[in-house]
Amino acid sequence: MRLAVMGAGGLGGYFGARLCKGGADVHLIARGAHLEAIRSDGLRIEGPDPFHIARVSATDDPHEIGTVDVVLLCVKLWDTEAALRQIRPLVGPGTTILSFQNGVLTDQDLREAFGPSRIMGGVSYIAATIERPGVIRRTGPMQKLVFGEFDGSRSPRAEELLQACLAGGIDTELSGDILRATWRKFVFLVGLSGTTTTIRKPIGAIRENPQTRAFLLDVLREVVAVGRAHGVDLAEQEAEVALEQLDVIAPDITASMHHDLERGHPLEVRWLSGAVVALGQLHGVPTPLNRAIADILALHAAGTPPPASHP
């Protein structure tokens, strides 16, 4: 199987390395110092179960790769529009495209850009970041991919990708209801990202304080209400289930959006709490807490330019 990974950061770099370790023909699309380090010394994974892929195909020009069987879209949500233009040279008549990004909006963008028959749904679970150029550090025990056809079928292309993932040691699930799986993660992530980024504290402190815990639960409930209004098969108690999941993750965990805020990087809030607000408006579902999160972070959403250098 010939795969291209668009975005070789914590998400794409880690799973791309795993797929490469399993014998797949993997091509990473990266940039800058990270790309140069991968070209010169391969890709190194640190943290739980460390390993090193000494030789990895990597480029910043998808034209050099040509068409592939599968494109994994792993860029930050604010980089999606540019990424959709960049991946066009990778897409041939039989190419499948999966987004493993956060949020619930990208699949529609993919359908509009490439047609619904090329698209499968995907969900990723991992805490990982670029430690330094050429090195991805996994910071938690979970590493999982969930994907599937939107009609629930077990297609040959899904089965082939499943086997490639399993060969690389990836915890992988082929879902019969990928829309529900995507929204279940969305509920969890909006709660984690919105609260840790606005409160500027890790999840442990937020879930232990009665007032911020109640805030977190109500944020989760808004997301569930919006998903159910859009016909997604979410249980009425899905928010409470998500809160139970947040109760068992390490107390020092914060969302990647919180890290991006601290580093002055662009934020994904428009596609997380902002998307909850926009989708809620379509069906008249009130989302005041997610509106507050989006408004609080609005002035940070584009990132903070680095300070001007002085002679």
157 vs 290: CA distance, rounded Å: 37
Q: Which residue has 């990974």 as its token pair?
A: 5
Confirm whether 36 is domain-assigned.
Answer: yes
Can you tell me whether residue 101 is helix, strand or coil? Answer: coil
Contacts of 152 (CB under 8 A, 6+ apart): 176, 177, 178
Identify whether residues 41 and 157 lie together within a single domain.
Answer: yes
Residue 305 has pLDDT above 80, yes or no: no
Structure tokens at 150: 């939107």
Q: Containing H/E element for 207?
A: helix 203-208
Identify whether residues 164 and 200 lie together within a single domain.
Answer: no
pLDDT digits (tens, 9 = 90+) for 35-69: 999 999 999 999 999 999 999 999 999 999 999 99
Structure tokens at 121: 């749904």
Identify whether residues 153 and 229 lie together within a single domain.
Answer: no
In total, the chain counts a number of residues equal to: 311
Final residue belonging to a domain, choices 127, 158, 176:
176
61 vs 300: CA distance, rounded Å: 30
Final residue belonging to a domain, choices 176, 202, 230:
176
Identify whether residues 169 and 205 lie together within a single domain.
Answer: no
Count: domains in the chain: 2
pLDDT digits (tens, 9 = 90+) for 104-146: 999 999 999 999 999 999 999 998 889 999 999 998 788 999 9
Task: Give the range of the structural domain holding residue 234, as residue numbers without chain letter.
Answer: 180-300
Q: Containing H/E element for 243?
A: helix 238-248
36 vs 132: CA distance, rounded Å: 12
Confirm whether 307 is domain-assigned.
Answer: no
Average pLDDT, the chain: 95
Identify whether residues 168 and 284 lie together within a single domain.
Answer: no
The CATH number of the domain holding residue 36 is 3.40.50.720
Identify whether residues 117 and 208 lie together within a single domain.
Answer: no
Identify whether residues 26 and 152 lie together within a single domain.
Answer: yes
Identify whether residues 77 and 201 lie together within a single domain.
Answer: no
Identify whether residues 200 and 51 lie together within a single domain.
Answer: no
Confirm whether 305 is domain-assigned.
Answer: no
